[in-house]
Amino acid sequence: MDEILEKGPGDDIREYLIFTVDKIEFGIDIGLVQEIIEYQEASPIPNMLDFCSGIINIRGTIVPVIDMRRKLGFESRVYDDRACIIVITLRSELVGMIVDGVQDVARIAPEQLSDSPAVRSQGEIKPFTSKIANINGNIKQIISIEAVFDVELDGEF
C-alpha cells in the first residue's frame, strides 16, 4: 500500500477511484482495484442471481461480474462503450463490477469524509455507502465493499 500512496502533507489521505452509476459519483478505495477493463458481455451462469452478470475471462482467469446498477438498486440498462468493468481483489480472488463510467482518482483526507447518514437510520442492515466525501461541495459516496459484495474483510474499506 505504501508504494501506491504518495506520502502527501497529511499521511492519512487515501486515494479513491471515482466511478459513476446512474450519474451519481461513487468512490472505492484504490488499494482494492486491480485493473479497469472495457465493458464486455459476460457469460451467464446457472441460477444466476439478479445483480450478477455472469463470468468473464481475464487472461485465463475466470472472474465473476456484478452489475452495479442492479446491485445498488438503479434501473438496469444496455451498457455502451463508455461503461467499464472495475476489477477488484476480494479475499485474493478477482471480482468485476460493471459501472457506467470511471472518472478519476481522488485524494480524500479524513476530514473530508463523514459517516453516511444511512448508517444511523438503518441500524442492523449494512448500507451500500459507508462514507460520504465532500470535496468542495462535490459529493462522492464511498461504497462499502463488505455490504456491496456481501463479504467480510479484515481491515476497513
Partner 1 sequence: MLDAYIYETQQLLEALENTLLAGENGQKLDADQIGEVFRIMHTIKGASAMMEFEELSILSHKLEDMFTLIREGKDPGAAWPALFDVMFSSVSFFNAEMAKLLDKQTPNGDSLPLRERVEVLIRQIEGEETTPEAPEAPEGAGAEEEAVDAAAEEAEMNTTEAEAEDAQAEPAAPAADSAIYKATVHFEKDCQMENLRAFGIVQVLQKMNVRLSYLPADLSASSAAEDIVNNGFILYIQTSESPAEIKAVLDETLFVKAVTLSPVGEDSEDIPIEMRTQPEAKGQGADVKPAAAPAVETPEVKASAPETPPAPEAEAASNGNGDAAAAQVNNGMTSFETVAKQNFISVNVNKLDSLLNIVGEIVTAQSMVVNNADFGDRPHESFDMAAQQLHSLINELQDIVMSIRMIPMSTLFQKMRRLVRDMSRRFGKQIQLEVIGEDTEVDKNVIDYLSDPLLHIIRNSVDHGVESPERRRELGKPENGRIILEAKMTGSDVVVTVTDDGAGLNKDKILQKAREKGLLTKPESELTDREIYNLIFLPGFSTKEQVTEYSGRGVGMDVVRKNIAYIGGAVSVDSTPGQGTVHTIRIPLTLTIVDGMKFSVGKMNFIVPTVNVLSAIKPSPEDVFKDPEGNEMMMILGKVYPLMRLSRFFNIHDTVTEIADGMIMHLSSDERDFCIFFDHLDGEYQVVVKKLPSYLEKCSSNLQGIGGCAILGDGSINLIVDVNGLAAEC
Give the footprint of partner 1 on this chain (CB under 8 A): 43-49, 51-52, 55-57, 59-64, 66, 90-91, 93-95, 149-151
Q: Which is nearer to partner 1, 36 or 55 (CB)?
A: 55
Q: What's the closest the beta carbon of residue 24 comes to partner 1, in angstroms?
A: 24
44: CB partners within 8 A, 6+ apart: 53, 54
Q: What's the closest the beta carbon of residue 151 comes to partner 1, in angstroms?
A: 8
Q: Which is nearer to partner 1, 66 or 99 (CB)?
A: 66
Q: What's the closest the beta carbon of residue 146 comes to partner 1, in angstroms?
A: 12
Burial of 75 (0-12, 13-18, 19+ CB in 10 A): exposed
Going by C-alpha positions, the residue among 74, 136, 73 that lies closest to residue 109 is 136
Grid cell, residue 92, equals 485474493
